[in-house]
Amino acid sequence: GDSVTQMEGPVTLSEEAFLTINCTYTATGYPSLFWYVQYPGEGLQLLLKATKADDKGSNKGFEATYRKETTSFHLEKGSVQVSDSAVYFCALRTGGGSNYKLTFGKGTLLTVNP
Partner 1 sequence: DAGITQSPRHKVTETGTPVTLRCHQTENHRYMYWYRQDPGHGLRLIHYSYGVKDTDKGEVSDGYSVSRSKTEDFLLTLESATSSQTSVYFCATQGEGNQPQHFGDGTRLSIL
Does residue 27 bind partner 1 (CB under 8 A)? no
Nearer to partner 1, 51 or 79 (CB): 51
**Count of residues that bind partner 1 according to CB under 8 A:** 21
Q: Tell me: does residue 51 bind partner 1 (CB under 8 A).
A: yes
Contact with partner 1 (CB under 8 A): which of 7, 19, 34, 74?
34
For the chain, the farthest-separated pair of C-alpha atoms sits apart, in whole angstroms, at 46
Q: Pick between residue 11 and residue 17 the one whose CB is nearest to partner 1.
A: 11
Among 25, 66, 73, 89, binds partner 1 (CB under 8 A): 89
Cα–Cα distance, 82 to 97 (Å, whole number): 40
CB closer to partner 1, 29 vs 114: 29
Binding residues vs partner 1 (CB under 8 A): 32, 34, 36, 42-46, 49, 51, 89, 97-102, 104-107
